[in-house]
Chains A and B, each alone.
Chain A
Amino acid sequence: AQSVTQLDSQVPVFEEAPVELRCNYSSSVSVYLFWYVQYPNQGLQLLLKYLSGSTLVKGINGFEAEFNKSQTSFHLRKPSVHISDTAEYFCAVRGYGGSQGNLIFGKGTKLSVKP
Chain B
Amino acid sequence: ETGVTQTPRHLVMGMTNKKSLKCEQHLGHNAMYWYKQSAKKPLELMFVYSLEERVENNSVPSRFSPECPNSSHLFLHLHTLQPEDSALYLCASSPIRGPGGELFFGEGSRLTVL
Give the segment of A11-19, A43-51, A60-68 that binds chain B. Answer: A43-51
A97 and B99 contact, Cβ closer than 8 Å, known pairs A45-B105, A102-B48, A107-B40: yes
Known: A44-B90, A106-B42, A107-B42. Contact between A97 and B98, CB under 8 A?
yes
A25 CB-CB contact with B under 8 Å:
no
Q: How far is the CB of B85 from chain A (nearest CB, A)?
A: 19
Closest Cβ–Cβ distance, residue B30 to chain A (whole Å): 13
**When the two chains form the complex, which single residue of A41, A94, A99, A107 contacts B56, counting CB atoms closer than 8 Å?**
A99
Q: Say whether B100 faces chain A, with CB atoms less than 8 Å apart.
A: yes
Sort chain B's interface into a size bin: 20 to 34
User: What is the CA–CA distance of A39 and B106 in the complex, to the nearest angstrom?
Assistant: 12
The answer to whether A43 and B107 have CB atoms under 8 Å apart is yes
B113 within 8 A of A: no
A102 touches B56 (CB 8 A): yes
From the candidates A36, A44, A96, A108, name the one contacting B99 in the complex (CB within 8 A): A96
The answer to the question of A103 belonging to the interface, with a C-beta cut-off of 8 Å to chain B, is: yes
